[in-house]
Amino acid sequence: MEFRELKVPGAWEITPKQFGDSRGVFLEAFKEGPFVESVGHALDLRQANSSVSAAGVVRGIHFADVPPSQAKYVMCPRGAVLDVVVDIRVGSPTFGQWDTVLLDDTDRRAIYISEGLGHAFCALEDDSTVVYLCSAPYAPGREHGIDPLDEAVGIAWPSEDRAGRPLELLLSDKDSAAPGLREAEEQGLLPRYDAVQEYIATLRR
């Protein structure tokens, strides 16, 4: 299992070793030792979610108040999604930057998105299934969103699906109505970089 930190600090791409034979494939989807070695603390699993999306569906950009926020270890056991992490931590050296990882049922990579970061993805195939291991339970009053099409963020969403056909982006009403990055900052919704770092430090003790 290989961990690679993305250009947004606090997010990692995880590539598992796959063992295949005539029966199929086996892999370790999560392993505590390599995770702790890379991230610096254990994953305190409090909730596991799953979503199934049609091609073109965009979910996000979602985030939660810090503390405790909601770190996510995300996998795609069926289909394919372009997964996106966005640095929304006010005061971060990489504030507003984003990076992507292709999650699919071929390479079977995962992405870990630590506390205080924004998360979104776009499904590249019908019935793409995403599984999230979360460090905190869903708390509606602490959950927020940023418009995934916000030009200030400038995510380069895919224009073609997994088969190379034109892709039409589909957003929920809630995500479409979410504020842009600057508006969310002005409203005081975004986490502060120093507060996020202080909270993550408590997880490493």
Which member of 62, 73, 112, 144 is catalytic?
Answer: 62
When the candidates are 3.40.190.10, 2.60.120.10, 3.40.50.1240, 3.30.1360.20, the CATH number that belongs to 2-204 is 2.60.120.10
CA distance 1 to 31: 8
Neighbour tally for 78: CB within 10 Å: 13
pTM for the structure as a whole: 0.96
Catalytic-labelled residue, pool 73, 132, 138, 144: 132
Identify the pLDDT of residue 169. 98
CA distance 205 to 198: 11
Q: What is the mean pLDDT of residues 44-64?
A: 98
Model confidence pLDDT, tens digit, residues 107-130: 999 999 999 999 999 999 999 999
- Residue 98, exposed/middle/buried by CB under 10 A (0-12, 13-18, 19+)? buried
Can you give the pLDDT at residue 186? 97
Length reported for the chain = 205
Helix or strand holding residue 24 (H, E): strand 24-27
Encode pLDDT of 136-193 as tens digits.
Answer: 999 999 999 999 999 999 999 999 999 999 999 999 999 999 999 999 999 999 999 9
In the chain, what percentage of residues exceed pLDDT 70? 100
Given this model, what pLDDT does residue 134 score? Answer: 98
Confidence check: pLDDT of 205 > 90 = no
Q: What is the mean pLDDT of residues 24-52?
A: 97
Task: Give the per-residue pLDDT at 135.
Answer: 97
Q: What percent of the chain has pLDDT over 90?
A: 100
Q: Report the mean per-residue pLDDT for the chain.
A: 97
Which pLDDT value is given to residue 172? 98
Max CA pair span of the chain: 56
If you average pLDDT over residues 55-80, what whole number do you get? 97
Predicted pLDDT of residue 110: 98
Q: Let me know if 132 is a catalytic residue.
A: yes
